[in-house]
Chains A and B, each alone.
Chain A
Amino acid sequence: MLQGIGLKKYFPVTGGFFASKAQGWIRAVDGVHVQVAEGEALGIVGESGSGKTTLAKLFLLLERPTAGSILFDGQEVRAFARDDLARYRRSVQAVFQDPYSSLNPRMRVQGIVAEPLPAEERLGHSVIRERVTEVMELVGLSRDSATLYPHEFSGGQRQRIAIARALVTYPRFIILDEPVSALDVSIRAQILNLLKGLHEQLKLAYIMITHDLAAARYLSTHLAVMYAGKVVEMGTCDEVYTAPLHPYTHALLSAALPLRPSLKRQRIILSGEVPNPLHPPSGCRFHPRCPEALPHCQTQEPAWKEVRSGHYAACHLY
């Protein structure tokens, strides 16, 4: 079980001649509660400025939270010493968005895929090679590919290499940051199917960050919607898609275009812009654009409530 409780990440905006004074704070993540249990796939959707990428970085320990905790099996990750930290890193792996910048062009695939295997344990060469072959076959690449360089592969194949690399330590959680957005449309199906297959076959848990609501629907068991650094809704995938609670989720879903034009749908077009993370709106961050805003939405931040069983939202409507 991987949990984030009250996570906050503020980035200072430095100003002044010596660039040392903080003149303001970018509240990238501002009080977020999420959790993923084993075998679940949590999709985190949102637009730019929602904080979803920063949240991923917090879980990957690429950034340190300004406040809040990350719990791994109930233990505070920040308190981990070297061994526990290494264990965390082996259990929580990552696949990034851009298949062209996520592989070192000067390393062979063998080296790339084997990278997360811990150097300290002195695994023998043949053991490492076995492991690499194993995960490469899992993702549908031949074992001969190991001696090649990344530029000899297509985008989809590179993403497979990245997935193999994430699997090599037998992790329990994989954090996927827009895993298919940079790929051609017909290749996306291949990678999404692969991810789904691995999820079912290996009982992996995913945290998938994406703006592609269709892909999130296909792959996720649960969904969390983020806006301006906060999670505004969370629940099982089917529930959130078919019976969204928060007005932003409504608008987001209606803006995501389905494939069948013959189905009747309600189009909600939001006015205004995605909020400025330096000066977010007061009260509920969404109130300036919300078609159902109530007077006190401007002054009071809504509380995180379980509106239906397992379905949470932060909105004054409930």
Chain B
Amino acid sequence: MPESSPLLVVDDLKTYFFTRRGIIKAVDGVSFTLNAGETLALVGESGSGKSVTCLSLVRLVPEPAGRIVGGRVLLAGEDLLCKRPAEMRRVRGRQIAMVLQDPMTSLNPALTVGTQVAEVIRLHQGVHGPSLRERILEALHRLRIPGAEARLRHYPHQLSGGMRQRVSSAIAMSCIPRLLIADEPTTSLDVTIQAQYLELLKEIQAQTGVAILLVTHDFGIVAANADRVAVMYAGRIVEMGSTLQVFDRPSHPYTQALLRCLPDVELKRSQLVEIGGQPPDLARLAPGCPFAPRCAKRQAICVEEYPPAVAIDNGHTADCWVATPVEV
């Protein structure tokens, strides 16, 4: 049930990469909130900034090229960007956990499953001996990993892709974090395994009240699993609202264009409406709205000034000079 104050408040977050080609504004003023027990989906294509946003929240942006240059990240009221490295290490794993796309690289191939789960629990909860083993099995059972006792001695390469992702997630959830960041967790999984995994995630959320930030490019996953959705383009959130609001009445031209260009498994479409042009070069962003060059509804002001957030409905906003909700 929603608390009075949100668990996570991200306020005008800016993360830039300083390279020879120029300054890449990967995240350029991103703001959103997330309540406990809620799932917010960050949707966008490659280059939209969704992964960098996640890395910024846990301050794991690759340095020295990348740097968080502005904004605040408040977790239960405390600004994570002001914390010292030692304090941040305590936050990671304990309060915020991450699950990444490729479980083969997030699990150490040279260590058994049991060792890897134990490492995290021991570090954050200071538990040893028989109670450690209990906690490990508890963590694995939470993700419904069959034959957990036997699995403790298995190495990652002995597990299937879906099982590895579950182990990764078990490690992430082992300390019952308040926030779980899942960056494309199912992209490398088979469709039916993906369905299993997303169901599991929902169960865990219901049990533990964890808030989930789900990053994906798949609108289908968003539709089925997210309470709220934020659509990202060129480092900014261009539309945000509840899933129903954004899908039923998308108001930003990019969201509208995306929904029109995706094939749907339940509808036989006669035509996919293409989005012309190419994604923008983040090192050479023009002033104004980054989507303007490809926008069919472009106005003169769109290339001059970045649009303000327009309230479409309660909790539904779009950054657009000509935002109009449309049935797609």
Contacts and interface: CB of A to CB of B under 8 A. Distances in A.
A254 B195 contact: yes
Interface stretch (A63-71, A102-110, A129-137, A266-274): A266-274
B192 A186 contact: no
Contact of B46 (A184, A218, A241, A252): A184
A189 interface: yes
A47 B257 CA distance: 29
A160 interface: no
A265 B224 CA distance: 11
Contacts of B243: 261
A189 B266 contact: no
A189 B275 contact: yes
A213 to B, nearest CB: 5
Contacts of A260: 223, 247, 264, 266
Nearest to A49: B190
A214 to B, nearest CB: 4
B221 to A, nearest CB: 6
Nearest to B266: A258
A262 B265 contact: no
A255 B271 contact: no
A94 B224 CA distance: 35
* Size category of the binding interface on chain A: 35 or more
Given A185-B258, A218-B272, A256 B220 contact: yes
Interface residues of B, number: 44
A192 interface: yes
Interface in A266-301: 267, 269-271, 273-274
Contacts of A211: 190-191
Interface in B245-265: 247-248, 257-259, 261-265
B190 A241 contact: no
B265 A186 contact: no
B278 interface: yes
A23 to B, nearest CB: 18
Given A189-B273, A259-B247, A260-B247, A270 B196 contact: yes
A147 interface: no
Given A185-B258, A257-B220, 18 more contacts: A47-B191, A185-B217, A185-B219, A186-B261, A186-B274, A189-B272, A190-B274, A193-B272, A217-B263, A217-B268, A256-B265, A258-B265, A258-B266, A260-B264, A261-B223, A262-B244, A262-B248, A273-B160
Per CB-CB distance, the 9 closest pairs between chain A and chain B, nearest first, are: A257-B220, A189-B261, A255-B195, A47-B190, A218-B263, A214-B263, A261-B223, A189-B272, A258-B266
